[in-house]
Structure formats: C-alpha cells, structure tokens
Structure 1
Amino acid sequence: MAQQSLTPDSLDLGDTARRTSIRIRWVLVALLVIGGVVNYLDRATLSVANTTIVGEFGLNATEMGVLLAAFSWPYAIANLPAGYLVDRFGPKRMYAWAAGLWSLMTMVTAAAHSFGVLYAARVALGVAESPFFTASLKVNERWFNKDERALPISIVNTGSQIANAIAPPILTGLLLTVGWRGMFVAVGALGILVMLVWLRVYRDPTLREQAIIRGEELAEARANEQAKPASWGALFRQRNTYFMILGAFGIFYTVWVYLTWLPSYLQTSRGLSLSETGWLSSLPYLCGILGVLFGGWLSGRLIRRGHSAVVSRKVPIVGGAVLAAAAVLPVAYVHSTPVALTLLSLGYFAAQVPMGCLWTLASDIAESHQVASLGAIQNFGGFLGAAMAPIVTGAILDATGNNYTYVFLVGGALLLLGGMSYLFFVKDRRA
C-alpha cells in the first residue's frame, strides 16, 4: 500500500485546532531563552571575577587571557561532534546532558585553589556547553518551517544577550556578597534547575504537528533523512563550510573581546570602580539584545518581500559586521568615556545583528539531516575566534602596557573580514 502523504490538508484540521496543537513550540522557545541566559551566566562568571582572581592567584594579563580562553578552545572543537550527536540523538537528551554537566563544572570551579584546576574546570565547561546552540537550532528546525524560523532563532539568541546584560550587576552583586566562589556555586545550581524543567517539558512534534508546521517541506526533509545518515564529514567537502567558518571567526572574535575584557577595560583604562563597572558594562549588552531581535526581524521582512532565504540572512550578517567595525575602530582614538561607551554599545548592537541569522543561514543551506552539523561547524569557526580573542588581547596589553588601541583595531579589521567572507563566498549551492 502506498504511504499517505502528510500535509495539513490531508489531516483536515481546523485553524483553531492547528494553533492549539503547536502552541507548545513557543513555550519551548521560552525555555531555550532561559537556558541561554543561564548558559551565558556560567560563561560570564570568570570575566566578572577577572580582577579579583588576578589578585588572588597573582596572574598577569597574558595568563588571564589564557584562562579566559580555556572555555573557548574546547567549546569550538567539541561543537563538531556535538552537532552530529544532536542530529543523531535529538535535542532533548543532548540538551539535558549538556545542562547538567555544565552546571556541575561551574560548581566544581568554586573549589579551585590553583591556576591548573581553574583551567581544567573551564576546559570541561567548554566541552559541556557545546551542544546548547546546536540543540536549539534542531528544536527550531523541528517546530518551525523555513519561512518562520528566523524570528524564533533570533529570540533564542537573545538569551545570551540578556545574560550578558544582567551578568555584570547580578554577578558583581554576588561577588561582593558571597565571594567569587559562592557566585560560581549559585549559578551552577540554577543550571541544574533548568535541566530538570527541560526534561519535564520538552517533546518532539508528533507526525500530525509536523505536517501542520512544515507541510510539503516535511516530505522533502523525510526523503533526505532516509536517503542519507546524519554526517558532518561530507560538509567539509563544500566551499560554503570554510567561508562560514572564516566569517564566524571574524565576527565572534570581536564579540568575545567584549565578553572577556570589557569589565577589565572599564576599570583599568577608564578608571571606573568595580561597582560602577558592574552597571556600565551592561549598556553594550542591553543594546545586543535589540541587535539580535533586529536581525531576525529584518531577515523575516526581506523574505516576506520576496527575497531568497540566503540573501535575507546575508543582509543582516554583512550589514551588522560592517556597522560594528565602523563603531569599534574609532574607540581606539576616543578619550571621552561617554563617547567610548556609546561607540561600544553601537558596536555591540551591530555585532549581534548577525547572530540569529548565522544559525538560520545554516538551516537554509544545509539539508535537513545536516542542519545541526553545519550549524555546529560554523560555531566551531566562531569559537576559534572566541578562543583567540582573550589570548591575543592579553598579549597586546602586556606588550603595550595596558593600551587598548591595537585591541580595537584588530577587532574592527576581523569584523570586516568576517562580513566580506559571507558577502562574497557563501552561496546557496544546492541548485
């Protein structure tokens, strides 16, 4: 007997039933946002405790840069198998394992009494957190069709920016109240709670819901999944993969200069106190929330106006990278703290415009069975840049006597490199 095609029409569901059936997907998006907040709070702990830990362990800027990068190297490398594992085992199990392990590693960090233990704990944290964004991408690929996907993916990416915005005041408050060790324990415990809620709430869509969500797109995706197993190795034989790695490297590099060195910059270069830094360093990150949402909105608007999916993603990616470079480069020569903060806020807003679209672009270019894999490989490239950022920054500061001029010049140049890589070399090559 021939297999019946699953489409919304064949299932004969009314509009009300359709909306009710798939309403849970926005609950899942909300959970992913909360997960992103906790995920990035874990990452931000060391940056907020930067000067405190430097004093306690007697580190110089290069050593602190190496420690700040300890998360990013293993995170970048672990993204490769993480994408495959999410494609293979699904987002529920992989996300739950990741949340549990990264929370445990955060709490273990509180027990560190040497540079080596601190470094090892951050390495383990990087490995544990690697499935988060690929699992989020897979959830969105399963619960939203191609035309809807940009907005929920961008909303999920606001979780990291919300965390970046609230981390300085909240984590600084914890640091001043219970010390840096107590701060790590509190954030780790929050992650365990997130894991338990995820296990209780998440489920994959039923066949009926898949048909409602994706319609004819579902038949093509199923055919691809049955014809080919999930594999990321084949993606390295495609040109797009390498230019997405390069493009993400350039954009993520400068983002992670912000995430790892901004509090220290405001204290050492601008003369702000620890409490002042806690609040003022939130300003760029608040702008980043708006940047992620704007990128998703702009991409969706371009699609509705008839532009192809790939073009609709590349416009925010390239435009955001170029605008961020234009804002970051002048900071090297600005003496006014308010002007510098304004430029840094604009630069971070623009650097976040591409973020949701980067992940959505991976889902547009890859076949359904390789969505998480390509997203993970692109993220691998991004976090190579993220790993280089704190090390190179620390080395520049030691070599120049804590002068940030070359820090901003390098960051702006890499933003331009990333944008041009996407503009000229990343294309839809499936036709």
Structure 2
Amino acid sequence: MAPSLVKPPGGRSATPSSAGYVLGLLFVGNLLNFYDRALPSVVLEPIKNEFGLDDTQVGILASAFVLVAALAGVPLGRLADRIPRATVAGWGLFVWSAFTAAGGVLTTFWGFFASRVGVGVGESSYAPATGSLLSDLYPSERRSRAHSLFMLGFPIGTLLAFVTAGGLAVAFDSWRAPFLIAAVPGFVVALLVLRIREPERGAADPARLDAPAPHRGRRQSLRSLMKVRSLYGMLLAFAGYNFAAYAIGTFLTPVLQRYYGLSLVSAGLVGGIVVGVTGLIGLVAGGRVLDQAARKSPEARVRVAALSLLGAAVFSFAGLIAGQGALWWLVVFLSLGYLLGIVYLAAAVPVVSDVIRPEQRSGALGLLFAVGYLLGGAGGPILVGVLSDALAAGSASATEASAQGLRTALMISVPLAFAVAAAGMLLAARFVRADRDAMLSPQNTP
C-alpha cells in the first residue's frame, strides 16, 4: 500500500488510496501548467497585431518564460531537495497563476512580457518537485506509467487551450479574457497541493537506499551528478525534444492561419488535434510500453524512447512538407510525429530516477529541465522565428513570404531537433545500467 500522503481535514488519518489522490491532484496542476503555457500561442496573431511584432520578436516573447524557467529551475530544484516538495510546487502554482492573470490586465508589450517571465518563475518549481515526489510513490517498474498519467496534463492542457482560448477571445472580443479565466482554478489547486503530506524520500526504492546519504555541500553534490554519464545523454535528449515541441506549440496555429488560410478558431481546433489528442494517445500507450521495457533491463526503456524519437523525426518531416491543398496530410503525419515524440516524456523522469539518489533527484531534475528549456524550449521559438524572417526577407509579397518562410523554418528545424533527441537517448542507453548499479551501491554516496 502507499504510505500516508495526504493531510485530510480535521486531522484524520490518511486513507490507503492517498497515492492515487496525490497523483490526480498533481496531474490537475500540470494540466493548468500547460494550459497557461499554451495561451499565448493560441492567440498569437492578435497579440502580434496589437503590439506590432515580427516573427523574431514573437519567438523571443514565447521564450521569455522558458528562459527564466531554465535559470530558476536549478535553485528551485535544489530547494525541493531540502524542504517539502509540496511547498515548492504549491507556491509555484500560486505564483504562476497570479502572473497569468496579470497578463490579462497589463496593456503594454513590456508589461505582458514581464507577466510571462513571472509565469516562468512559478512553473520552473513544479516539474522538479513533483517529479521527485512521484518517484517516491511508485517503484522503478511502474514509474513510466505513473509519470505518463501525470504528463497527460501536457496534451490535455494544451488541447483545452487550443480548443477554448480562441472561442473565449472571440466571445469576449479580447484575447486577454482567457488569461484572466485560467488563473482562478490555479489558486484553488495550489491550496490543495500545499496540504499534501509527503512520503519519505526513497520510499519506493530498493531497501539498500533507505539510509540517506550524508550531506556534503553544494559543490560536491553537483560534482557527483556530473559523474553520472547517462545524464549527459538525457540533457541532450531533453533539449532536442523541447526544441521541437516548443517550436510546434508556438508556431503551429500561425502557420495554419497564414499558409493554410484557417480562421483563429479553426486553427486552434486543428492544432488541438495535432498536439492534444495525439499527445494523449502517445502518453497513455507510451507509459505502458516503457514500463514493460523497464522490466527487461534499465536500458531497454531508454532504447524504446530513442526509437520513438527517430520515428517522430521521420513523420514530422513527412507532415510539414504538405502543400497548401493537403491540410489533411499535415494533420495525419505531423500528428503521428508528435505522438511518437511525446512518448519520450514518459521516460525522462523515470530514467533520471533510476540513476540519481533520492536526496538529489529534485536538483537533478531541475538541472535537466534547465538545460532542456534553455537550449530547447527557449531556443526553438527564437531560432524558428529568426529563420522564418530570414526566409521571408526580400520577397515582393510579404503575406505569402511570411507564410512560406514560417512553414519552411518548421520543416527544417523540427525533424532535426527530434533526431538530436533520439541521439541523446541512444547515448544515455550506453551508460544507464552502470549508473544505476553505481547509484544502488551502498558505497556510492554524494
């Protein structure tokens, strides 16, 4: 049975089903996380028109919160290794909800830019803290499935944003309305997350990890992480995946409007199918397949994720070459690519938990997310925006050039980024067994 995790009202003892409750609650918070992230992408064209932005500036705006999340993720991850993880995650959720609401009331570009920076600070706390917490709820051979359920917040939250944000903007005659509405449930869920009672760190790991390693300070702790060779491959994979995912998330709706001529609402619905429905399928199926692979060997889970990323590179290229008269081709093949790519997310945190000691996991996950967001999540929108503007420059027809430039930029960058992520996972697979054995060794203390 799961350990007592939830602090119920009135001081009563927690029920044995509390682990499922915690997973469900953290999932809802993650759904709000990705809903709030996706909002600017869905209403990007109205934002661009109001502030008079080009695609490079749009890319910088989309990357604002990612850059801050990358910088804040490491210290907040290390903080979650020292204080209750629910405290870090709950207050982070409260902060990003407040800044999401601020984005709906601030009327200048720099004010809106600052609100996205604030969202990045809040959201940077959530993944490292909750990833470590989930690893103490489930053993290694069940972590991919549990984390895939948690990560369903990504496709479902993104799908809800694509499906609802455009309609809300039209209904209220303002692109700001979705930002104000989205903040309300965030405050409620934050209060519930703050009431979680956590399991002991390492509670779901083998018995020989029950005794915590001695604390030796920040420098030696970081040095011990750098000795985990599979972590380098994971860093490369997370950067590549985030580059592709954030490039698609930022520019899919604009390319559907510019190149394929769809309205804001129609583009949001089609985008929701590509990144929402297929992401949902990919995570549910991927979690099961990855856990089955993990029962065979530690590296099998990593190799399955690498093959999925290779498939994502092939299918995303096949979809993005679709011409203006073949929207269905784009939807089918880009959806397949996105489905295969998102399988990786069900492997990332479990693989880190397989090779990093419990008392260092939040910090290691903070490092993983920091590098991934800095090089991938921030780099993707910026570089695609720069490439789009460069390809569109000098054309007689600005409208047609903008459409063609953005489509070509995505066609070049997204498949390449997925391929880089696959290479990172193959690199990690070479070392994951040895790193896990070293982590389980009683002599290996940071």
Fold match (TM-score > 0.5): yes
Partner of 1:31 in structure 2?
25
Partner of 2:367 in structure 1?
377
Q: What amino acid sits opposite 1:157 in the alignment?
A: M
Aligned counterpart for 1:256 among listed residues 246, 258, 263: 246
For 1:67 and 1:181, locate their aligned partners in 2 and report how far apart those are by CA, in whole Å. 16
Alpha-carbon distance, 1:53 to partner: 0.8
Partner of 1:136 in structure 2?
130
Partner of 2:97 in structure 1?
103
For 1:362 and 1:229, locate their aligned partners in 2 and report how far apart those are by CA, in whole Å. 21
Whether contact under 8 Å (1:33, 1:158) holds in the other structure is yes
Partner of 2:188 in structure 1?
193
For 2:100 and 2:386, locate their aligned partners in 1 and report how far apart those are by CA, in whole Å. 26
* Cα-to-partner distance string for 1:254-304 (whole Å, 9 max, x where unaligned): 011121111111101111111211211111121011111222111111233
Q: What amino acid sits opposite 1:326 in the alignment?
A: V
The residue matched to 1:143 in structure 2 has which SS? coil
Say if 1:229 and 1:293 are closer, same or farther in 2 by CA, change over 3 A. Answer: farther
Q: What amino acid sits opposite 1:277 in the alignment?
A: A
Partner of 1:184 in structure 2?
179
Q: What amino acid sits opposite 2:89 in the alignment?
A: Y
Partner of 1:344 in structure 2?
334
RMSD between superposed Cα atoms in Å: 2.1
Whether contact under 8 Å (1:135, 1:372) holds in the other structure is yes
Say if 1:140 and 1:398 are closer, same or farther in 2 by CA, change over 3 A. Answer: same
Alpha-carbon distance, 1:233 to partner: 5.0
Query: TM (normalized to structure 2)?
Result: 0.86
Counterparts of 1:225-236 in structure 2, within 5 Å, are 225-226=213-214, 231-236=221-226
The residue matched to 2:260 in structure 1 has which SS? coil
For 2:330 and 2:197, locate their aligned partners in 1 and report how far apart those are by CA, in whole Å. 46
Alpha-carbon distance, 1:205 to partner: 3.0
Counterparts of 1:156-195 in structure 2, within 5 Å, are 156-178=150-172, 179-195=174-190
Query: TM (normalized to structure 1)?
Result: 0.88
For 1:425 and 1:152, locate their aligned partners in 2 and report how far apart those are by CA, in whole Å. 22
Counterparts of 1:65-104 in structure 2, within 5 Å, are 65-104=59-98
Whether contact under 8 Å (1:225, 1:368) holds in the other structure is no
Alpha-carbon distance, 1:112 to partner: 2.1
Partner of 2:384 in structure 1?
393
The residue matched to 1:360 in structure 2 has which SS? helix
* Cα-to-partner distance string for 1:376-422 (whole Å, 9 max, x where unaligned): 21212221201011111111221122221232222111211111122
* Cα-to-partner distance string for 1:293-343 (whole Å, 9 max, x where unaligned): 222111111233xx222x232133201210100011123422111001111
Q: What amino acid sits opposite 2:391 in the alignment?
A: T
* Cα-to-partner distance string for 1:95-139 (whole Å, 9 max, x where unaligned): 111011001111111222222222221112111111111122122
The residue matched to 2:210 in structure 1 has which SS? helix
Partner of 1:61 in structure 2?
55
Partner of 1:308 in structure 2?
297
Whether contact under 8 Å (1:267, 1:273) holds in the other structure is yes
Percent identity, aligned pairs only, is: 25
Aligned counterpart for 1:298 among listed residues 289, 292, 297: 289
Partner of 1:13 in structure 2?
none
Partner of 1:411 in structure 2?
414
For 1:22 and 1:370, locate their aligned partners in 2 and report how far apart those are by CA, in whole Å. 27
Whether contact under 8 Å (2:312, 2:338) holds in the other structure is yes
Say if 1:233 and 1:90 are closer, same or farther in 2 by CA, change over 3 A. Answer: farther
Whether contact under 8 Å (2:149, 2:283) holds in the other structure is yes
1:46 aligns with 2:40: yes
Q: What amino acid sits opposite 1:280 in the alignment?
A: V
Q: Aligned residues, how many? A: 404
Aligned counterpart for 1:146 among listed residues 125, 140, 147: 140
For 1:319 and 1:44, locate their aligned partners in 2 and report how far apart those are by CA, in whole Å. 27
Whether contact under 8 Å (1:54, 1:64) holds in the other structure is yes
* Cα-to-partner distance string for 1:16-42 (whole Å, 9 max, x where unaligned): xxxx95321011111111111111111
The residue matched to 2:141 in structure 1 has which SS? coil
For 2:87 and 2:49, locate their aligned partners in 1 and report how far apart those are by CA, in whole Å. 40
Alpha-carbon distance, 1:370 to partner: 1.4
The residue matched to 1:180 in structure 2 has which SS? coil
Whether contact under 8 Å (1:244, 1:421) holds in the other structure is yes
1:322 aligns with 2:313: no
Listed as ranges, the gaps of 5+ residues in structure 1 are 1-6, 9-19
Alpha-carbon distance, 1:218 to partner: 5.4
For 1:189 and 1:377, locate their aligned partners in 2 and report how far apart those are by CA, in whole Å. 30
* Cα-to-partner distance string for 1:137-184 (whole Å, 9 max, x where unaligned): 122122222222221111101111111112111111211122222211
* Cα-to-partner distance string for 1:24-81 (whole Å, 9 max, x where unaligned): 1011111111111111111111111200111111111111111111111111121111
The residue matched to 1:409 in structure 2 has which SS? helix
The residue matched to 2:37 in structure 1 has which SS? helix
Partner of 2:424 in structure 1?
421
The residue matched to 2:139 in structure 1 has which SS? coil
For 1:352 and 1:26, locate their aligned partners in 2 and report how far apart those are by CA, in whole Å. 23
Alpha-carbon distance, 1:239 to partner: 3.2
For 1:283 and 1:81, locate their aligned partners in 2 and report how far apart those are by CA, in whole Å. 36
